[in-house]
């Protein structure tokens, strides 16, 4: 095997010169050089920057900045619900689920609205993932917290038959979603910097009173066929997605 | 080299025209937008940030329309809004870590960057303070730090010195001067004195129109031999204000020292002065006086 010495190098240089003479390459202009540099830049991995964080990471980060008061309140609701589930009758427990589930979701929703409450829309729109995505992540956390707060009450209450369980889950999801939709619509039309807690509090109180007064209506609703519950659930889910989309559009500062 | 290009930007809100045919090209440097309240500065910044859409026209970043660039454009920008809001109950350090994640900065680099910028804006010792306990100037510095976390090529500052005391304004100015290397910095303000010695280009926006875009020396040349200072009696002030475009007025002993703008010597005792950016602002935006 021969080594690559000065003699070889001279030969290679000569070959290159001959080839360049045979196949002339036009010298690119400044603009072309600049464009090539720009293009190469797009092919390189950007260090430290800037990949879209995974949903899990977004959730983890958002969780660290979720208001501790909101989390504590969820656990209080959970403890109270469990205590009721153990102590009281089934009917009483269902009422507790009905009353506590809106409170749980509306408290969580204050977290979803915090971009608007603190006037951060403008700034958050300039980040890699903006207000719309943030809202969805916060909504997922809110629903997660809500689930943690309310679902165990259902289990402890002894409804371990799958059919009952599914019915109950859907039954409390629907009032919670109704509240969420209502509050999202209100939030759309309230001026920036309004604290949504002041809207949510009285609304929950009103809803609770309404449910207590209308006990027969409550029973009627719970005893309805599961297919009806499912249809209503899908219908509400569609409306909710539309409202969230509208919320996103309205937050665009236009 | 990065380039931001505005092509024939118009913006209407219902019947009101806020921006009228703005076309500009920005290369790295500090560009200051001077304009009275309502002149369209903030709207223009919001269009550049892709927060609102222009009625007509487009913004290009390195030759690409910004609405097509999406995330990659947002990676390149840093923004300090006019009213820095932030989450008041968060600690400064936690807030910056949070914003860094929202900007998509990798974990291993983020901590280092947050600490670096906390030191740069002189907030390292206050990093565990809650934002609600900070002064206006400190909040503005948090604003700068969050904007710089992603090392933006385009930094937009919307009236960042409004509400700051003079000491904080000077400190802020030094900070911006340090950041201006190899970046496009767009700086809107109506405090012209903040720009002295800082800005590379002055853009004057008046009622949504771009009146001037040039280096400060060239812009000021247009006011050369038109700036006068004169000591008058207090009772003469009304007459002077009716006759001339008046700038700064200050007490000087029992008399009043008035700075006024006129193409020829207005009064025998008037002394010609070198124009400053503050003169320029007052010349364009002082109300109701004749030239």
Query: What pLDDT shows up at residue B48?
Result: 94
Residue B79 lies in a domain: yes
Query: What pLDDT shows up at residue A208?
Result: 65
Query: What pLDDT shows up at residue B290?
Result: 40
Query: What pLDDT shows up at residue B97?
Result: 92
Per-residue pLDDT of B30-53, as tens digits, reads 999 988 888 888 899 999 998 888
Residue B27 lies in a domain: yes
Residues A138, A170, single domain; the answer is yes
Residues B184, B249, single domain; the answer is no
In chain B, how many domains are there?
Answer: 2
Of the two residues A153 and B97, the one the predictor is more confident about is B97
Here the CATH number for the domain that contains residue B96 is: 3.40.50.300
Number of H helices and number of E strands within chain B?
Answer: 10, 14
- What is the spatial distance between Cα A60 and Cα A201, in angstroms, rounded to a whole number? 28
Residue B240 lies in a domain: yes
Domain that holds residue B21: 4-215
Per-residue pLDDT of A79-138, as tens digits, reads 887 777 677 776 666 666 666 766 777 777 777 777 777 778 788 888 877 666 777 788
Choosing from B195, B215, B235, the residue where a domain stops is B215
Best residue of B77, B104, B116 to probe chain A, by most A CBs closer than 10 Å: B104
Residues B244, B211, single domain; the answer is no
Per-residue pLDDT of A168-220, as tens digits, reads 666 667 776 777 777 777 766 765 545 555 666 677 667 667 766 766 766 77
- What is the spatial distance between Cα B165 and Cα B150, in angstroms, rounded to a whole number? 28
Residue B235 clears pLDDT 50, i.e. is over it: yes
Query: What pLDDT shows up at residue A252?
Result: 55
Q: What is the DSSP letter of A53?
A: P
β-partners of residue B201 are B31
Of the two residues B98 and A20, the one the predictor is more confident about is B98
Residues B199, B253, single domain; the answer is no
Query: What pLDDT shows up at residue A239?
Result: 87
- Are B79 and A67 an interchain contact pair (Cβ–Cβ within 8 Å)? no
Task: Give the range among A125-139, B127-141, B238-252 with minimum mean pLDDT.
Answer: A125-139
Choosing from B187, B215, B243, the residue where a domain stops is B215
Percent of all residues in chain A with a pLDDT value above 90, rounded to a whole number: 0
Residues B9, B86, single domain; the answer is yes
Residues A79, A25, single domain; the answer is no
Query: What pLDDT shows up at residue A253?
Result: 53
Residues A39, A59, single domain; the answer is no
Of A34, A52, A122, the CB nearest to B51: A122
Chain B residues touching A46 at Cβ < 8 A: 75
Cα atoms found within 13 Å of the Cα of residue B275, Cβ hemisphere only: 23
Of the two residues B285 and B151, the one the predictor is more confident about is B151
Query: What pLDDT shows up at residue B92?
Result: 94
Of A48, A65, A122, the CB nearest to B81: A122
Residues A185, A215, single domain; the answer is yes
Query: What pLDDT shows up at residue A201?
Result: 64
Query: What pLDDT shows up at residue A180?
Result: 72
- What is the spatial distance between Cα A88 and Cα B149, in angstroms, rounded to a whole number? 55
Domain that holds residue A186: 55-250
Residue A39 clears pLDDT 90, i.e. is over it: no
Residue B229 clears pLDDT 80, i.e. is over it: yes
Residues A90, A196, single domain; the answer is yes
Of the two residues A82 and B135, the one the predictor is more confident about is B135
Query: What pLDDT shows up at residue B174?
Result: 83
- What is the spatial distance between Cα B72 and Cα A41, in angstroms, rounded to a whole number? 13
Residue A46 clears pLDDT 60, i.e. is over it: no
Per-residue pLDDT of A69-80, as tens digits, reads 888 888 887 888
Query: What pLDDT shows up at residue B194?
Result: 78
pLDDT band with cut points at 50, 70 and 90 for residue A254: low
Residues of B engaging A, defined by a Cβ cutoff of 8 Å: 1, 46, 49-53, 62, 71, 74-75, 77-79, 81, 83, 85-90, 94, 98-99, 101-106, 109, 113, 146, 150
Residue B290 lies in a domain: no
Residues B64, B206, single domain; the answer is yes
Residues B142, B87, single domain; the answer is yes
Residue B222 lies in a domain: no
- Are A127 and B49 an interchain contact pair (Cβ–Cβ within 8 Å)? no
pLDDT band with cut points at 50, 70 and 90 for residue A41: low
Residues B205, B248, single domain; the answer is no
Residue B79 clears pLDDT 90, i.e. is over it: yes
**Averaged pLDDT for residues A227-239:** 85
Choosing from B190, B215, B240, the residue where a domain stops is B215
Residues B107, B156, single domain; the answer is yes
Residues B125, B235, single domain; the answer is no
Q: What is the DSSP code string of A104-173?
A: HHHHHHHHHTHHHHTT-HHHHTTSSS-HHHHHHHHHHHHHHHHHHHHHHHHHHTT--SHHHHHHHHHHHH
Residue B111 lies in a domain: yes
In chain A, how many domains are there?
Answer: 2
When the pLDDT of each residue in chain A is averaged and rounded to a whole number, the result is 72
Chain B residues touching A57 at Cβ < 8 A: 101
**Whose CA is closest to A113, among A244, A253, A254?**
A244
Of the two residues B271 and B181, the one the predictor is more confident about is B271
Chain A residues touching B90 at Cβ < 8 A: 65
- What is the spatial distance between Cα B244 and Cα B230, in angstroms, rounded to a whole number? 12
Residues A160, A186, single domain; the answer is yes
Query: What pLDDT shows up at residue B26?
Result: 94
β-partners of residue A161 are none
Query: What pLDDT shows up at residue A48?
Result: 46
């Amino acid at each position: 095997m021969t080594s690559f010495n000065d003699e070889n190098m001279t030969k290679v240089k000569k070959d290159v010169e001959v080839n360049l003479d045979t196949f002339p390459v036009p010298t690119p202009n400044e603009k072309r050089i600049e464009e090539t540099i720009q293009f190469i830049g797009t092919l390189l991995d950007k260090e430290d920057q800037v990949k879209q964080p995974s949903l899990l990471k977004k959730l983890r980060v958002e969780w660290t900045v979720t208001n501790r008061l909101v989390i504590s309140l969820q656990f209080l609701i959970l403890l109270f619900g469990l205590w009721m589930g153990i102590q009281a009758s089934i009917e009483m427990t269902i009422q507790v689920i009905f009353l506590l589930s809106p409170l749980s979701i509306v408290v969580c929703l204050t977290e979803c609205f915090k971009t608007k409450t603190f006037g951060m829309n403008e700034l958050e729109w300039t980040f890699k993932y903006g207000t719309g995505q943030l809202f969805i992540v916060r909504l997922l956390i809110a629903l997660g917290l809500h689930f943690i707060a309310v679902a165990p009450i259902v289990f402890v209450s002894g409804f371990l038959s799958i059919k009952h369980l599914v019915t109950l889950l859907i039954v409390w999801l629907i009032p919670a979603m109704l509240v969420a939709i209502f509050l999202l619509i209100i939030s759309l039309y309230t001026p920036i910097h309004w604290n949504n807690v002041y809207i949510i509090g009285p609304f929950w109180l009103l809803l609770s009173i309404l449910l207590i007064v209308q006990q027969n209506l409550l029973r009627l609703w719970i005893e309805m066929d599961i297919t009806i519950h499912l249809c209503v659930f899908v219908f509400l889910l569609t409306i909710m997605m539309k409202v969230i989309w509208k919320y996103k559009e309205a937050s665009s500062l236009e | 080299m990065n380039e931001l290009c505005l092509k024939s930007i118009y913006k209407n809100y219902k019947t009101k025209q806020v921006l009228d045919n703005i076309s500009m090209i920005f290369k790295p440097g500090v560009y200051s937008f001077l304009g009275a309240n309502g002149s369209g500065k903030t709207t223009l910044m919001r269009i550049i940030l892709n927060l609102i859409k222009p009625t007509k026209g487009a913004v290009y970043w390195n030759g690409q329309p910004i609405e097509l660039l999406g995330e990659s454009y947002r990676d390149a920008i840093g923004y300090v809004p006019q009213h820095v809001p932030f989450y008041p109950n968060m600690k400064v350090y936690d807030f910056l870590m949070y914003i860094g994640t929202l900007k998509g900065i990798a974990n291993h680099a983020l901590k280092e960057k947050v600490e670096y910028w906390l030191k740069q804006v002189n907030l390292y010792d206050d990093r565990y303070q809650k934002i609600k306990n900070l002064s206006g100037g400190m909040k503005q510095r948090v604003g700068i730090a969050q904007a710089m976390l992603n090392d933006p090529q385009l930094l937009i500052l919307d009236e960042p010195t409004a509400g700051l005391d003079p000491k904080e304004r000077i400190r802020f100015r030094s900070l911006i001067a340090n950041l201006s290397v190899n970046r496009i910095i767009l700086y809107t303000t109506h405090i012209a004195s903040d720009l002295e010695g800082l800005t590379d280009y002055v853009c004057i926006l008046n009622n949504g129109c771009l009146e001037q875009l040039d280096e400060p020396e060239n812009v000021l040349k247009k006011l050369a031999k038109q700036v006068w200072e004169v000591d008058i009696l207090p009772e003469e002030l009304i007459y002077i204000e009716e006759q001339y475009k008046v700038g700064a007025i200050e007490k000087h002993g029992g008399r009043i020292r008035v700075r006024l703008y006129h193409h020829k010597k207005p009064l025998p005792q008037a002394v010609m002065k070198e124009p400053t950016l503050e003169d320029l602002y007052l010349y364009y935006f002082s109300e109701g006086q004749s030239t």
